Structure 1
Amino acid sequence: MIGPCTHSGRTQDGRGTRRTATRRDILAAAEELVLENGLAGLRTKDLVRRAGVSERTVFNHFDSIEDTALTRIEEYLTPLFSGLDVPADTPVAELPTAVRDRVLIRLATPAGLECLTGFVHLAAALAPDSGEILTRHVVLTLTSMGSLASSEVEAEHPQLSLEQQMRLRLYLTNLALGLGLGLARPALHHLPRETLTPLEVKDRIPPAEELVPHIEWAFQQVDAGLPQL
């Protein structure tokens, strides 16, 4: 089951704990501001007004104003590689392809496509003003995703040797990074090099369904190094 991307709007009264609801409202407000005006539009005074919280509350939840947008980026990506539920009876030799296939199935679901859509739109709005920071955060998040998927598989397959665990972890880390490169591929090919406004960028982003083949292409490149377990 995919989590945060299926609840991308503001939290309604009575849903979840107060702290969770407040955090969700801050993230939703931050995303709205960035999508409207890029990172330059994410100012503390506007965020507290849009989220309906105090400045102190924002910084009780997040280390910096930019961290609100980066956290939202992370929440769009992480569910794509977590809770994949690879069957415990999957033969060890088939684990790498089983995880890959589970990710591809996840991407094709409505919730998976919603995650992809949310990520690419928010990343595109952030990129002009914070490309280097965004790239670093995405790479770290993707690396963590690969590690998380590995830990989940290892928990279901305690018979894996240390060598097998290392090979699987390397493959899944590369697979997660491949997802990021697959998403970047159409932008590198089709977006112009001149600076665009957030709204102009949004108009040029292809639907999520058209992004999945690029991810499949990236996974095929990763499969050139498919490990033998």
Structure 2
Amino acid sequence: MPPSEPAVDRRAQIRERHHRAIIDAAGALLDAKGADGFTVDELAKRAKVSRRTVFNHFASVDDIVIAVCSEVLGDVVETFESQGSAPAGTSHDGVFDEVAGALRSTDLVTPIAYLTRVLRTPDDEPSQRQAVVLLRAFTEVSERLSAEMLRRHPEAEELTTRLLVSSLIGGLVVLHTHWLAATGGSADAASRAVWDDLLDHLIQRTRDGYALTAPLGAPTS
């Protein structure tokens, strides 16, 4: 006999509650100890679930960290998810302008500075793990944003839309490297100005192409 609908709903609710508890606990531990500072047992205890439950939801600690990072970076997607459908007939240029506008209007420095801090190694040096985690987190954001843009613009060509979104979101990974070298990962006014300049450069180059041009900050004739 198949399970009753209420029983299925209860199981789904419990699973969702456990999933949320694990992510919330991981966020708190990341903030307190960094990505290398806690164990699965500590995480399970804080989330009030078993170690087995943690691994029923996530294959590895890095997957949990990536889930937290994706949520931290998710404001740009939530901006669109809170809106209704866009007017019909919008061109791909219009989609580009929407995504570029969201990146410009969303405070990305605060979450990126946070992620830079919690993903640093004990010797305060960038690591391959940090790069991989950030890349996967940005990739998840890109996939969510692509899906949302296609929902808002059902007339848009899917491949072009996904390429457009991934070009901008993927570029943020490169911006992070340059921003970190220039600012040390701070979130003050000077750091935000550096980020804004880099973001403008990314948007301009993605829109206009990548022919050889003067370097960022160089005078133009």
Q: TM-score, normalised by structure 2?
A: 0.68
- What does the per-residue CA deviation read over 1:92-116, in whole Å, with 9 as the maximum and x for residues that have no partner? 14321122113333x15xxxx6xx5
How far 1:212 sits from its partner (Å)?
7.1
Aligned length: 191
Q: CA RMSD in A?
A: 3.3
How far 1:79 sits from its partner (Å)?
4.0
Of 27, 34, 38 in structure 2, the residue corresponding to residue 38 of structure 1 is 34
Tell me how far apart the structure 2 counterparts of residues 154 and 76 of structure 1 sit (CA, whole Å): 22
How far 1:47 sits from its partner (Å)?
1.7
2:171 aligned with 1:172, yes or no? no
Letter matched to residue 59 of structure 1? F
Q: TM-score, normalised by structure 1?
A: 0.66
Tell me how far apart the structure 2 counterparts of residues 35 and 151 of structure 1 sit (CA, whole Å): 30
Letter matched to residue 32 of structure 2? E
Tell me how far apart the structure 2 counterparts of residues 209 and 190 of structure 1 sit (CA, whole Å): 8
What's the % identity of the aligned pairs? Answer: 21
Which residue in the other structure is 2:45 paired with?
49
Tell me how far apart the structure 1 counterparts of residues 17 and 30 of structure 2 sit (CA, whole Å): 20
Tell me how far apart the structure 2 counterparts of residues 66 and 149 of structure 1 sit (CA, whole Å): 22
Which residue in the other structure is 2:97 paired with?
97
Gaps of 5+ in 1: 1-15, 192-203
Are the equivalent residues in 2 in contact too, given 1:39–1:126 (CA < 8 A)?
A: yes
How far 1:72 sits from its partner (Å)?
0.6
Tell me how far apart the structure 2 counterparts of residues 156 and 34 of structure 1 sit (CA, whole Å): 34
Which residue in the other structure is 2:77 paired with?
81
After superposing the two structures, state which structure 1 stretch, 76-85 or 209-218, moved more: 209-218
Tell me how far apart the structure 2 counterparts of residues 119 and 225 of structure 1 sit (CA, whole Å): 21
Tell me how far apart the structure 2 counterparts of residues 190 and 227 of structure 1 sit (CA, whole Å): 27
Which residue in the other structure is 1:8 paired with?
none
Tell me how far apart the structure 1 counterparts of residues 44 and 189 of structure 2 sit (CA, whole Å): 31
Tell me how far apart the structure 2 counterparts of residues 147 and 66 of structure 1 sit (CA, whole Å): 19
Of 139, 159, 163 in structure 1, the residue corresponding to residue 135 of structure 2 is 139
- What does the per-residue CA deviation read over 1:74-104, in whole Å, with 9 as the maximum and x for residues that have no partner? 2222342356246224631432112211333
Within-5 A mapping of 1:64-213: 64-81=60-77, 84=80, 85=83, 87-89=86-88, 91-92=90-91, 93-105=93-105, 107-108=106-107, 117-128=110-121, 131-160=127-156, 162=157, 165-191=158-184, 205-207=186-188, 210-211=191-192
How far 1:63 sits from its partner (Å)?
1.0
| Greater relative CO (CA pairs within 8 A, separation 6+) | 1
Tell me how far apart the structure 2 counterparts of residues 60 and 40 of structure 1 sit (CA, whole Å): 21
Letter matched to residue 78 of structure 1? G
The 3 A distance-change label for structure 1 pair 121 and 88 is same
More helix by share: 1
Which residue in the other structure is 2:205 paired with?
224
Letter matched to residue 31 of structure 1? G
Are the equivalent residues in 2 in contact too, given 1:35–1:122 (CA < 8 A)?
A: no
The 3 A distance-change label for structure 1 pair 140 and 66 is closer
